[in-house]
């Protein structure tokens, strides 16, 4: 049974299309990773699902409820940890949690018991009574996670929960998310960190240009790729022209597929090799074409390969591409109500 069902979501901000036909199913009890570069539409999708934003068109079903018709019921059952943590600098962490508890209408005894429990669980005891303005990124994020968990939601949604965090806080948050899953809470998190999705998620979707382009378990997605991943360099630092020449050579070999020039890695070449005799053949052909083989690595497919396969670029390249074009001012505006 799916806890979240997003169907054909469309959303534009002015001329900028954030979602174009996004469809997603999150099964109950899963720890679901939504992987994609910045600007792919992850945050917009999560904001729609958390009833903060209305799509231009499409259906949103959360926990069996129509989130567009019955947003208030959805809010009661859902915890949301936003990307930009908005804390009140003047309040202490404990006061913020008390406020949050009152907004979710917890009885004060229950509220205080929950707060005490979460302070211990997230190891916030030594600083929870200090003002939020003094907190580090990791503290802020832990506090925000506690706020999202206060009312014991059946579904927890986190937008990039560990961006820019110290190792310790990240580990703590990962641990809590795993515990939640084992207790039966469905967790949906977005991330542009492959390692995070790899380490945590039992199901995942890759999102690009406002659409889901692949979903399944990480294992399935990797298996679907088939073949081994091979990275080749003909020289320590090649240029694009040379790499393109090598690409043409490689593409002519039987058993080699998906040859991609990887710009972010000094124009090395990524390819997929199927069959045992392909590699010797490859060495031979390169020699014939008068290319040296400076380096060759071979590995089983990783999530990065999955990403490369479905989008035609590496996640890092996608990040670099969007980094220059992001209009942070506009993004801030569009999240303002």
Q: How far is CA 330 from CA 16, 85, 325, 334, in A?
A: 10, 18, 11, 6
Find the shortest distance in angstroms from Cβ 11 to another protein. 17
29: left (phi over 0), alpha (psi -120 to 50) or beta: left
Q: Choose, by CB under 8 A, the member of 11, 75, 141, 313 that binds another protein.
A: 75
311 binds another protein (CB under 8 A): no
Secondary structure (3-state) at 271: strand
Q: Which stretch binds another protein (CB under 8 A): 4-12, 91-99, 226-234, 251-259?
A: 91-99
Q: Choose, by CB under 8 A, the member of 102, 239, 240, 251 that binds another protein.
A: 102
Q: How far is CA 155 from CA 32, 174, 235, 301, in A?
A: 11, 16, 50, 31
98 binds another protein (CB under 8 A): yes
104 binds another protein (CB under 8 A): yes
Number of residues interacting with another protein: please give it, by CB under 8 A. Answer: 33
Find the shortest distance in angstroms from Cβ 13 to another protein. 15
Nearer to another protein, 326 or 333 (CB): 333
Find the shortest distance in angstroms from Cβ 78 to another protein. 8
How long, in residues, is the chain?
337
72 binds another protein (CB under 8 A): yes
Q: Choose, by CB under 8 A, the member of 147, 189, 249, 278 that binds another protein.
A: 147
d(CA 29, CA 199): 17
Contacts of 118 (CB under 8 A, 6+ apart): 97, 124, 146, 149, 150
Tell me the two tokens of residue 64: 């069996």
51 binds another protein (CB under 8 A): yes
288 binds another protein (CB under 8 A): no
Nearer to another protein, 99 or 323 (CB): 99
Q: Which stretch binds another protein (CB under 8 A): 2-10, 28-36, 79-87, 240-248?
A: 79-87
Helix axis angle, 108-121 relative to 137-149, nearest 10°?
140
Tell me the two tokens of residue 35: 């992987």
335 binds another protein (CB under 8 A): yes
Q: How far is CA 181 from CA 15, 29, 176, 187, in A?
A: 39, 6, 9, 7
Q: Choose, by CB under 8 A, the member of 50, 214, 232, 272 that binds another protein.
A: 50
Nearer to another protein, 79 or 227 (CB): 79
Q: 3-state DSSP: the chain helix, strand, coil percent, rounded to 5?
A: 40, 25, 30
Name the site residues for another protein (rule: CB under 8 A): 50-52, 72-73, 75-76, 78, 80, 82, 84, 86-88, 90-91, 95, 98-100, 102-107, 110, 131, 147, 333, 335-337
């Amino acid at each position: 049974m799916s806890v979240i069902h997003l169907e054909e979501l469309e959303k534009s901000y002015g001329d900028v299309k954030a979602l174009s036909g996004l469809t997603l199913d999150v099964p109950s009890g899963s720890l679901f990773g939504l992987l994609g570069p910045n600007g792919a539409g992850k945050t917009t999708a999560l904001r729609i699902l958390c009833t903060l934003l209305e799509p231009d068109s499409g259906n949103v079903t959360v926990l069996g409820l129509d989130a567009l018709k019955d947003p208030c019921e959805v809010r009661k059952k859902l915890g949301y940890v936003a990307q930009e943590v908005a804390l009140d600098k003047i309040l202490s962490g404990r006061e913020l949690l008390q406020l949050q508890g009152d907004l979710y209408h917890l009885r004060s005894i229950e509220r205080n018991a929950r707060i005490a429990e979460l302070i211990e669980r997230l190891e916030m005891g030594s600083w929870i009574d200090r003002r939020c303005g003094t907190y580090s990124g990791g503290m802020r994020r832990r506090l925000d996670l506690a706020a999202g968990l206060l009312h014991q939601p059946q579904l927890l949604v986190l937008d990039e929960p560990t961006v820019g965090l110290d190792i310790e806080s990240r580990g703590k948050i990962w641990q809590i998310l795993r515990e939640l899953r084992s207790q039966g809470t469905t967790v949906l998190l977005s991330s542009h960190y492959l390692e995070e999705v790899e380490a945590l998620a039992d199901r995942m979707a890759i999102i690009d240009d406002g659409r889901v382009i692949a979903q399944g378990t990480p294992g399935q997605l990797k298996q679907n790729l088939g073949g081994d991943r091979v990275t080749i360099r003909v020289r320590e630092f090649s240029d694009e022209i040379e790499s393109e020449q090598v690409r043409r050579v490689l593409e002519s070999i039987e058993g080699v597929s998906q040859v991609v020039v990887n710009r972010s890695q000094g124009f090395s070449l990524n390819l997929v090799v199927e069959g045992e005799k392909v590699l010797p053949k490859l060495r031979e052909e390169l020699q014939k074409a008068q290319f040296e083989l400076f380096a060759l690595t071979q590995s089983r497919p990783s999530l990065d390969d999955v990403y490369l396969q479905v989008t035609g670029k590496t996640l890092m390249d996608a990040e670099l591409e969007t980094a220059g074009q992001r209009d942070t001012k506009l993004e801030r505006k569009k999240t303002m109500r």
